[in-house]
Structure 1
Amino acid sequence: MNVQLNHTIVWCRDKQTSATFLVDILGLPSPTPFGPMLIVQLDNGVSLDYYDNDEFSSQHYAFLIGEDDFDPIFARLQSRGLPYWADPCKLRPDEINRLDGGRRVYFDDPDGHLLEIFTRV
C-alpha cells in the first residue's frame, strides 16, 4: 500500500497575507492561485492550500529543513522581529531547541498558527 499526504487546507483570514508570509520566511516560490485558494508547494510534493475563512482554530505546521537552510530562514525571522520559542508551549522565548542534535524553533504566522522549523526528526 502507498499512502501519501497530498495537500491540506490552511484556513486563514487573508490568504494572500498568510501564504506570502510563509513563502517569504521559508524562501519558497510565490504561491499560485487555484480556484478560491492560494497554493504553497513544498519540495516533497505536498501543498498547503490557503483558503479565506473568518472562523478557524489555530493549527501546527512543522517543516523539516536542511541544516544549511536553518540559518537563512532563522535570519529572516529575526529581521522581522518575530518572537520565537524553543518549545511548542512557548515557555522558552528567544531560544533555539538543540536537544535532538539538530535545531528547531517555533513561531506564529499572521493567523496564530504555530509554525515550526527543524533540522532533524
Structure 2
Amino acid sequence: MPAAFNHTIIAARDRAESARFFVDIIEAQEAPSWGPFTNLQLDGGVLIQFADLPVEAFPEIQNQHYAFLVDDALFDRAYGRLCERGIEHWADPRMQRPGETNTEHGGRGVYFRDPAGHFIEIITAPYV
C-alpha cells in the first residue's frame, strides 16, 4: 500500500476557536474529539487535530502553512466569507497583493491567516 496522508496536529491558542474557523471558512466537518484535541474531518478521511499550546512553554506559536484543494463552488463560498468578515487576505504568499485572489497554476487561489496565525491557502487546482 502506498503512503497516504492521514492526520496533522495544528497548534492553537484556542483549539475550539481555530476549529470553528475552519468549519466556517472551508466547511470542514466536525469529528469526534478526544484528549487534548478538537478534531475536524476533511475529504478522503484526513483528520485535522487542533491542540492548545501552553503560553508558558511556547510563548510564540511557530506559524505553519496549510493548503486546501477545493472546488470552484466552495472557493466562491469561502472567499465570500473572508470578504464578509473582513479577514485580511492576499493573492500571493509574500502578502504583496492584498485583497486579491490569483489565477496561477490553472485555477484560483487565496492566502489568509487562521486565528493562531497560521498561513492558510485555498486553491481550486493542484500545483502538480
TM bracket (short chain): over 0.9
CA positional deviation for 1:30: 3.0
Distance between the aligned counterparts of 1:86 and 1:79, measured in 2? 17
Contact 1:20 1:31 in 2 (8 A): no
- What amino acid sits opposite 1:105 in the alignment? V
Distance between the aligned counterparts of 1:31 and 1:89, measured in 2? 33
Aligned length: 121
Q: Which residue of 1 aligns with 2:20?
A: 20
Q: Secondary structure at the match of 2:29?
A: coil
Q: Which residue of 2 aligns with 1:11?
A: 11
CA positional deviation for 1:33: 1.7
Q: Which residue of 1 aligns with 2:86?
A: 81
Distance between the aligned counterparts of 1:100 and 1:9, measured in 2? 28
TM-score (norm 1): 0.93
Distance between the aligned counterparts of 2:100 and 2:89, measured in 1? 7
Large movers: runs of 4+ above 3 Å: none
Matched, 1:68 2:73: yes
Query: In the TM superposition, what are the counterparts of 1:27-38 in structure 2 within 5 Å?
Result: 27-38=27-38
Distance between the aligned counterparts of 1:14 and 1:109, measured in 2? 11
Taking only aligned residues, the RMSD between alpha carbons, in angstroms, comes to 1.2
Contact 1:104 1:116 in 2 (8 A): yes
TM-score (norm 2): 0.89
Which structure 1 residue ranges, 5 or more long, are not aligned? Answer: none
